Structures are given as structure tokens and as C-alpha cells.
Amino acid sequence: MSTGDALSVAVGDYQAIRKSADRLLREAGALGRFPTPVEDILKAARLSVEREASLDSGFLKRMYGKAKGEIKRAIDKVVGLFDSRDRMVYLDLTVTREKQRFVSLHETGHGYLPWQKDLYAILEDGEKNLDPEIEQEFERQASVFASEVLFQLDQFQRDASGLPFELKTPMALAKRYGSSNYAAFRRFTGTSPRACALLVFEQPAYVVGKGWGFRLRRYIPSTSFRKFFGEVCWPTEFYIEDNPLAKALPLGRRFTKRCRIDSPVSGGSERFYLEAFDSTYNVFALVFPESELKAIKAAS
């Protein structure tokens, strides 16, 4: 069973989300079809997408004026909206096509999960609502549902297991499934049976007196990584001048080829390996212990 986002929701909720995702994928005839056919999935969920409306303040004001029932507001810029009265999904068409696909499935979660579909008349979603680590459990469930559907439950993990253990694998699978690189990186690391972790950084910035540094945005460990190394306390900022891991991150280039680094885990003695990719929005670093590299070579 996939464990990519399972840690972000209660076990019972995750099982129920998986069951609903499996049912919808089968109703849509989507299993084994690539890229994952989001439009057919929406149709199977009896939802429609309105692609003409713009989610600007004027449109939202008109929507609220007609609403009869509770409204759930986004905590930042609205990128998706679900109107339960007419089963309609509205999207911010200025974001990438890949993000529109994920937002569509997130809104589908609100309209398809049995315990969510009738709670709100209108439900807004912003960028922060789409992260499985958001504090609002309601939103986490919808994002986990979207991930399970987009990556067709365990199919992504099966595909990844037959390909090289490197960042280029989830990048290739992102194209196959029709996802963003970010979502594929997250799924690749979170569902990997190997002890590995994905570190997501903001773009590098120069700080007077400290030099070039990277601010950590997100840490996604595999279950095995968490088991072997526990709850790792990563620093918030990594500066090239004094942090071996930061020195290996791409600065002025897109990729860092696989390289060996000192253990980034407090008290650890085992060496680690790192490879990284700069998407121009974020910097993604895949890190794993040397023992995993030995296991990879032994299996090849």
C-alpha cells in the first residue's frame, strides 16, 4: 500500500480516502490510462468544470451574493472553487496545466468524499490549502485524495520501482501521469521503500554577513528514513559557507549530479548522497544514506 501522504491524515481516514479513490478510478475507467484522465474522473464524479469564469474579486463577490449555505474561504489567493449547489468546479486558469489538474482533483475530493460533499455551499481553495501538511484536516484529506487519484493508487510506486533511483525518474513519471514535478518528487520519495528524504528549498538568496543560503520549505521523508533516523530536526536555513549540504546544492546551474556528503543527521556517522534540481521556483534535493547506494548497486 502507498504511504506517500498517509502520515498526514488519520489511519482510518486514509483507508476511507483510498477506498473512495479506487472506486472513482474504476467508475471512470481511468486505471492504466496515461496521463491520468482527469476530465473522465470529474465526469464520473458528476462534476463539471467552468473554464470561462475568472476567479477575480468581482466574480467571487457575485458568487457569495447568491449563496445560501455556509461558505469556506481560502487563506490566500483562490486557485480553485467548488460550488456544491450545481456541482461545479472553477479554476484559476493562470496557473500551469499540471496545477489545474491537481486542483480539479482536490475539488473533486470535496465533492466526492461522502463525509465532505454536503458540508459547504461554496468552498474556496488557495495555494496553501493544496498542501497535505496544512493544519486543516478537511483540506489535507482532499489533497491526499487528489494524490491517490492522480497517481492511480500504487501504480506510480510500481512504475518507479522498475526505474533508476534518481530525480530524473519522478520527472519522467510526472510527464506520464500529467503531474507537476513537485507532486511527482513528493510521491516518489514518500512512497519509496528506500531510506530517503526530499528537501524542498526556496530559491537561493544572498544575506550580508552570511553569504548565499537556502531556506528550507518542506521535508518529506520515506517511511524507512523516518524509521532509521527518527524525527530529524533540519535547520531552517542552509548557508554555503558553513553547511556541507548547502555547498552541494545547485547555485547558478539546474542540476547537481549525485555526490557524497557528510551525514546531515545529527549524531550520524554514515555518509550520505545527494542529488538536486533547481526548477527556478524551488530547489529539490534527494538525500539518502550510503547503505542505500550499496543496496542499489547490489541489486543491479
- DSSP per residue, 23-48: HHHHHTT-TT-SS--HHHHHHHTT-E
The pLDDT of 57-86, averaged and rounded, is 77
Each residue's pLDDT tens digit, 203-224: 999 999 999 999 999 999 999 9
Each residue's pLDDT tens digit, 227-257: 999 989 999 999 999 999 999 999 999 999 9
C-alpha cell at 268: 550520524
Residue 2 predicted with pLDDT over 60? no
Of 123-127, 137-141, 176-180, 257-261, least confident by mean pLDDT is: 123-127
- pLDDT computed for residue 143 by the predictor: 94
Per-chain mean pLDDT for the chain: 90
For residues 256, 260, 262, 268, the Cα torsion angle rounded to the nearest 10 degrees is 120
Q: Which residue has the higher pLDDT, 295 or 109?
A: 109
Verdict on whether the full-model pTM lies above 0.85? yes
Q: Which residue has the higher pLDDT, 55 or 113?
A: 113
